[in-house]
Amino acid sequence: MNKKTKTNFITGDILKASILGAFKKLNPLYMIKNPVMFVVESGFIITLLLGFVPDLFGDEGADLYLYNFTVSAILLITVLFANFAEAVAEGRGKAQAQSLKKTQKDMHARILKDNGEDEIISADGLKKDDIVLVKSGELIPNDGEVIKGIASVDESAITGESAPVVKESGGDFASVTGGTTVVSDWLKIRITSDPGESFLDKMISLVEGASRQKTPNEIALNTLLVSLTIIFLIVIVSLYPIALYSGIHLQISTLIALIVCLIPTTIGGLLSAIGIAGMDRVTRFNVIAMSGKAVEVCGDVDTMILDKTGTITYGNRMAAKFIPVGNASEEELIRYSVISSLKDDTPEGKSIVSLGESLSGKRQQEIPGMKSVEFTAQTRMSGIDLPDSIKIRKGASDAIQKYVRELGSVIPTDLEGSVNEVARLGGTPLVVCLKEQILGVIYLKDTIKQGLTERFARLRAIGIKTIMCTGDNPLTAATIAQEAGVDSFIAECRPEDKIAAIKAEQAEGKIVAMTGDGTNDAPALAQANVGIAMNSGTAAAKEAANMVDLDSDPTKILDVVEIGKQLLITRGALTTFSIANDVAKYFAIIPAMFMAVIPQMQILNIMVLSTPYSAILSALIFNAIIIPILIPLAMRGVEYRPMSAEKMLTRNMLIYGLGGIIAPFAGIKIIDLIITPLLTAAGL
């Protein structure tokens, strides 16, 4: 499940398993779930029978054995291709599930009884509210909540992220997932899910595709495909007596060939593969969708509600500017600010060093013998003591002022103004002093994540509105919102404001997506049409969401939306392609059917196919091989670039609609040129 590995869409193992799977799926009881392909399979069985007994329905003609067998073989291959596509899609998920299952199989739990004793039992025996103890090096047997202890946990089995995470009781880091490993210390955990319902179980069944239910759009599309199949069945069944009236005795195999060519086998064969592959793409992004529907709904999202901290900004304040005060020069301020932060490992400290170095263009070496002074809640400042007893301090404005005053120095008059200006912009002012002299103010600012501004622009291009929620005051919020390029913001936002915002958007008929992690986000996650919970978040949040992001990267929501759209576009594109193909197939088969009795039909043979048999077989072969040709497209999804709906429609219609009309003309002609000598040799 490592997202970093670039996987080929097919590997040797999957290939082997899929070929086997393709044959296993020939079972009619299974095939009937896909009516389009079931018709093809029925056609295969009838033509196979006709291969043995050509005059079963009174057909006459030389070489009927061979012809019927050939049609039958092509139909079988068509069905196998479709089954293969589905098996490949499933295979990729199964491989992932396999390794997860392995983890699950050999899990044990040290259950703590009421009398204080412990006992090792199999993880399957754990029930909700059992208390277990997990020591260093052991697997956490099931989902739960830490009630005691603090430990680092390796979650790579689930998330693929190798850095361990610290888990402790209370707060946002209390929830643990079954299947992850405690790498140091110990944890006492209360189990929160029953056997078979854990997150790991859900994940296994999801990636396996076992619990896959058809999504609403898939159902609607399936209805369309079935109705097209029925229409063409009516056309062909009625054609038999009509042709008979016109003095043409049509062979059953030819009629079956025409039915198979006209019904939408291309999309019919690839439909479930597209759905499975779509879910798979989401999983590859390390997002677990609770249902295929959730992914599809993502494509419809109109509004996204995003937390500022963690989603839009890094959440840590970063140095943005040095403002000298009094007599100090900027150079001086930068130099001492950097020195004071050299031993400071906090993100703020690091950012001061990197900004300072980039502004001054010099790397500041550590001065031997310098001692770091840690931040404490009492002093509210930190700093460094240089060997020659020079003290540099940085900290909150009032704390530094007090410190300097005690040393008997005066406060520069312009300090107040600079500090207030920083605060007004929504930043945090950090005041720096060298001995008793105040040098200036470091402007610490919330920084917007890299590349996010472009992503918001992308979202705007496809008509998605973004709303930022933050606890900051309106002024700060406005600054960040403008910088990030979100469409609107809610300042001083409380959890209930979030729900109100979601409801207001929904009342306008909009589909709302949001990300959240804390317990107080749970109601909002449930209210939103798409709720993505962070894996680091609380169990309540995960329960309420319909997707869980294993990397706890809130910006993923943007990727999921694009995958959702891509999924729908792929279905639409292949449906259009499939239907557009019919035009060429009509022109291949219809003249071939009637040419023997009505020679004038030659005019309609616009592809100049050599014989009636070669025409019918070419169309049928084209119909079969287009399925494997399109498997990679179905797996990958069609290329998606953000653009307006109108542009996208025009573009896709040109590629898949117009392309779908033209491609088979060329394809059938080429196949005809190839098979004509073969057929002549075989005597057809």
Partner 1 sequence: MLQILIFLAVFVVIIFPMGKYMYHITASQHTFADPIFDRVDNVIYRLCSIDRKGMQWKQYAMAMLTTNAIMVLIGYLILRIQTVPFFNPNSIGGMEPVLSFNTVISFITNTDLQHYSGESGLSYLSQMLVITFMMFTSSATGFSVAAAVIRGFAAKTKTVGNFYADIIRITTRVFLPLSLAIGLLLVSQGVVQNLSPNTTVQTIEGKYQDLSMGPVAALESIKHLGTNGGGFFGANSTAPFENPNVLTNMIEMLSMMILPGSVVVMFGLMVRSRGKSSEKDMERKRLFSREAKPVFAVMFFLLVIGIAVCFWAEQAGNPALQQVGLNQSMGSMEGKEMRFGIAQSALFTTVTTAFTTGSINNMHDTLTPIGGMVALVNMMLNLVFGGKGVGLINMLMYVILTVFICGLMVGRTPEYLAKKIEGREMKLTALAIIIHPLLILSFSALAIALPAGLAGISNPGPHGFTQVLYEFSSASANNGSGFEGLGDNTYFWNITTGLAMFFGRYLSMIIMLAVAGSLMLKRPVSESIGTLKTDTGTFTIVLFMVIIIIAALTFFPALILGPITEHMVLWN
Applying the rule CB under 8 A, the residues between 242 and 271 that interact with partner 1 are 242-246, 248
CA distances from 483 to 197, 465, 476, 488, 670 (A): 43, 16, 11, 12, 57
Known active-site residue 307: yes
Burial of 644 per CB tally in 10 Å (0-12, 13-18, 19+): exposed
The total number of residues written for the chain in this structure? 684
What secondary structure letter does DSSP report for 393? E
594 binds partner 1 (CB under 8 A): yes
The C-alpha atoms of residue 217 and residue 677 are separated, in whole angstroms, by 45
Cβ burial 561-592 (10 Å sphere, 16+ → b, else e): bbbbbbbbbbbbbbbbbbbbbbebbebbbbbb
CB of 296 to partner 1, least distance (A): 7
CB of 464 to partner 1, least distance (A): 7
463 binds partner 1 (CB under 8 A): yes
5 binds partner 1 (CB under 8 A): no
CA distances from 79 to 21, 41, 73, 110 (A): 12, 6, 10, 51
Nearer to partner 1, 123 or 607 (CB): 607
**The token pair that represents 392 in the structure block:** 């540099």
Q: Tell me the per-residue interface mask from 540 to 579 with partner 1, x by CB under 8 A, - otherwise.
A: ------------------------xxxxxx-xxx-xx--x
Q: Which of 53, 461, 596, 606 binds partner 1 (CB under 8 A)?
A: 461
Whether the CB-CB separation of 306 and 467 falls below 8 Å is answered with yes
388 binds partner 1 (CB under 8 A): no
Nearer to partner 1, 254 or 437 (CB): 254
CB of 544 to partner 1, least distance (A): 22
Q: Supply φ then ψ for residue 146, to 5 degrees.
A: -70, 125
241 binds partner 1 (CB under 8 A): yes
Nearer to partner 1, 74 or 574 (CB): 574
Output Rg (C-alpha) for the chain, integer angstroms.
34
Task: Compute the CA torsion angle 227, 233, 234, 240 (nearest 10 deg).
Answer: 170
CB of 643 to partner 1, least distance (A): 9
Query: What's the half-sphere exposure (Cβ side, CA atoms, 13 Å) at 448?
Result: 18
- Among the candidate windows 197-205, 235-243, 321-329, 411-419, which touches partner 1 by CB under 8 A? 235-243
Whether the CB-CB separation of 491 and 470 falls below 8 Å is answered with yes
Segment 508-527, which members bind partner 1 (CB under 8 A)?
A: 508-511
CA distances from 554 to 314, 477, 511, 540, 558 (A): 11, 19, 18, 17, 9
CB of 648 to partner 1, least distance (A): 5
Nearer to partner 1, 157 or 595 (CB): 595
Nearer to partner 1, 107 or 295 (CB): 295
529 binds partner 1 (CB under 8 A): no
Catalytic residue among 154, 307, 517, 549: 307
- Among residues 353, 441, 444, 426, which one has the least CA distance to residue 394? 441
CB of 242 to partner 1, least distance (A): 6
The C-alpha atoms of residue 299 and residue 645 are separated, in whole angstroms, by 12
Q: Tell me the per-residue interface mask from 289 to 308 with partner 1, x by CB under 8 A, - otherwise.
A: -------xx-xx-x------
Nearer to partner 1, 516 or 660 (CB): 660
Segment 205-224, which members bind partner 1 (CB under 8 A)?
A: 216-217, 219-221, 223-224
CB of 219 to partner 1, least distance (A): 4
Nearer to partner 1, 15 or 653 (CB): 653
Segment 618-677, which members bind partner 1 (CB under 8 A)?
A: 640, 644-646, 648-650, 652-653, 656-657
310 binds partner 1 (CB under 8 A): no
What secondary structure letter does DSSP report for 368? T
Active site residues: 307
